[in-house]
Structure 1
Amino acid sequence: MQKANIQLETLTCPSCLQKIEGAVGGLKGIDKDSLKVMFNASRVKVNFNDEEISIEKIEKAIQDLGYEVKKSRVKAA
């Protein structure tokens, strides 16, 4: 398992949070219980199985919704 901390552009509405949670939570290899989208910090924290999904795929799912990923940090969970 890997732990990702993804910094996004400033989130402007609570529905953004729900869209991101839905998109990331629906990916294979995501630990849904660990998924936290922090509205005020514009940040996503999530644990994922790096044998099933890469950080790039998680970032792409967020970017496909129209949100800019500023930077990501990944470390062993």
Structure 2
Amino acid sequence: MKKAVFNLEPLGCPTCVKKIENTLEKMEGIEEIKVLFHSNRVRTQFDESKVQAEDIENTLTKLGYPVVSKKVS
């Protein structure tokens, strides 16, 4: 299991949290998601044999939430 934290540009509203969570939950390999509205972060835990951090980053960007930085551990 890998963990990643994605720092996003400021989120516009609390409904953004649900939009991100609902989309990432559908991705194969993602085990845990936590969207932190006030700090503009998305924390994930995922199975790297099924999904990569870059895939998650690309999905966030396609949703309209550009990633400013990320940390994968």
TM-score range, shorter chain: over 0.9
Residue 52 of structure 2: aligned partner? 54
State the aligned residue count.
73
Aligned pairs for 1:1-77 (under 5 A) are 1-31=1-31, 34-75=32-73
Deviations 1:42-67 (A, max 9, x none): 00001000010010100111111111
TM-score computed with the length of structure 2 as normaliser: 0.95
Gaps (5+ residues) in structure 2?
Answer: none
Deviation at 1:23, TM superposition (A): 1.1
Which TM-score applies when normalising by structure 1? Answer: 0.91
Structure 1 residue ranges (4+ consecutive) displaced by more than 6 angstroms after TM superposition: none
- Letter in structure 2 aligned against 1:15: T
The CA RMSD over aligned residues, in Å, is 0.7
SS in 1 for 2:15: helix
Share of identical aligned residues, percent?
38
1:12 to partner: Cα distance: 1.3
